[in-house]
Structure 1
Amino acid sequence: MNMGKMFIVLGMVFIIIGIFWTFIGKLPGDFTFKKGNVTFHFPLMTSIVVSIILSLLFLLINKFR
């Protein structure tokens, strides 16, 4: 796979992730704690999903290299 096709695929993946993120917003495993004026947001499930997607993406890139 040449660099041009790889960037097209990478761009499409980012567009799909962006659309998914816009409509879903916050996943069920994300935690938000509020106490007074302090808000702490811990995106646990989002981090796991992003990690899986990036791992698969790098696996595909490495496979066609």
Structure 2
Amino acid sequence: MIAGAIIFAIGFIMHFFNIGRLPGDIVFKKGNTTFYFPIVTSIVISIVLSVIVYFIGRFR
């Protein structure tokens, strides 16, 4: 249930605060097909989660 709540919160934040469309994300549009690869968004989320886990481990 905790993992579901975390995934829900991440989805809520990305949807309402438009985090998933950072400069550097790759988008290909051709005809009816769209390919979206959020490389910069993935890097930013990875850095933020790494910092959070670091501080949780440090102060525990």
Give the TM-score of the pair, scaled to structure 2: 0.67
**Residue identity in the other structure for 1:41:** Y
Q: Distance in 2 between matches of 1:54 and 1:35?
A: 34
Distance 1:61 1:36 in 2: 46
Cα distance in structure 2, aligned partners of 1:63 and 1:49: 21
The partner residue of 1:40 within 31, 35, 39 is 35
**Cα deviation code 1:9-33 (max 9, x no counterpart):** xxxxx6xxx38x6155511011110
- In our comparison, the structure showing a higher alpha carbon Rg is 1
For residue 6 of structure 2, what is the aligned residue in structure 1?
Answer: none
Residue number in structure 1 paired with 2:24: 29
Q: Which runs of 5+ in 2 are unaligned?
A: 1-8
The structure richer in helix per residue is 1
Give me the CA root mean square deviation. 2.1
Note the residue ranges of structure 1 that are not aligned, 5 or more in a row. 1-13
Runs of 4+ in 1 over 4 A off after TM superposition: none
Written as runs of structure 1 = structure 2, the 5 A alignment for 1:1-65 is 18=13, 22=17, 26-65=21-60
State the percentage of identical aligned residues.
54
